Amino acid sequence: MIKKITIIMGLLMFCLSFNSSFVHASGYEQEFVVKPGPILAGGASRLDLRFNISYARVTFKLSDDPNFIVKVLVRCNSEALIPVSAESFSEGTFSAVFSSGAVSEEDMANPLHDWEIQIGRYDLETRLTLDFSGVQTSMDLGGMPLDTLVLNLKGTRTKLDFSEPTLFSVRNFSMTCEGTFLTLANIGNTNFERFQLNAAGSSIDLDFKGGYAAGDYHADFNLNGSSARINLPVTAGALVVHRPANRPVELAGGGWLKEQNSSPEGYMTDDYEDQETRIKLYMVSTATSVQIKREGTNLQYRISY
């Protein structure tokens, strides 16, 4: 039996429309669409989008379609897994939250739960928060109108790329990883002001390539029981300041000059002062292995204990 449910929810002059289709007896499908018209007409100056997703497969990409802000299609094998959403408007910010339905132990073992998320073409500064638990995902957030990006990842396998520059500079880019495999590419295309990573029991691959404007870029790491591999572009000078609980450090390759008269001790590339773009990495770590490479050179920084 095929059922079609349409729900229209209003908040002031805003509306969030849902089209849901329940397909054959063993499967469920639901679509959520956020339209820009009522949001812009209501005077929103920024957006706050949040996705709370558990035990699912997720794809996330930019669309060229200007007729929606967010389009979400969810397929699942249980009515209990059908997601819910909420919206609000306060002080010029329109907020929308999308959350997974109830997840049973059986669903955890076999997550027949798929999310396809698209962000449309619009130019309102957006805070995007992704709370993922037990999620497998491949995402490309390149070109999106993000000014804040927050990732909370627990037990996930996540690939995230910024294949093109974000529409705005991402002023705050923060991630918390627990038991996660994370691959992050083209970070420089976010033009981040502050990059923060807290990781425990995780494997992290970070590629800081991208189109940087001139200036200083700060990245802070707090790593515990993890492994991290960091690739830096040759077009930017680099400073590494490390505060390990244990001190063994191995420097490989040429091109590092020891920073003088600085506490704590740091290392910088020999072209640091000459580059218009400079990436500053500050690390606190315990029981962690870190390897830093610079693109196209034999410049490496290794911490292992």
Which value, to the nearest 10 degrees, does the dihedral of the CA atoms of residues 207, 210, 214, 219 take?
-30
Convert the pLDDT of each residue in 169-192 to its tens digit. 999 999 999 999 999 999 999 999
Convert the pLDDT of each residue in 115-150 to its tens digit. 999 999 999 999 999 999 999 999 999 999 999 999
What mean pLDDT is predicted for residues 253-258?
61
Mean pLDDT estimate for the chain: 82
Convert the pLDDT of each residue in 262-279 to its tens digit. 445 678 888 899 999 999
Output the pLDDT for position 143.
Answer: 93
pLDDT at 31 over 50: yes
The most confident of the ranges 110-119, 215-224, 259-268 is 215-224
When pLDDT is cut at 50, 70 and 90, the band that residue 2 belongs to is very low
- What DSSP letter does each residue of 121-187 carry, written as one string? S--SEEEEEEEEES-EEEEE-TT--EEEEEEEEES-EEEEE--S--SS--SEEEEEEES-EEEEE-G
pLDDT at 35 over 80: yes
When pLDDT is cut at 50, 70 and 90, the band that residue 112 belongs to is low
CA dist., res. 109 & res. 287, Å (int) = 30
pLDDT at 42 over 70: yes
CA dist., res. 4 & res. 19, Å (int) = 7
When pLDDT is cut at 50, 70 and 90, the band that residue 302 belongs to is low
Output the pLDDT for position 40.
Answer: 84
pLDDT at 26 over 50: no
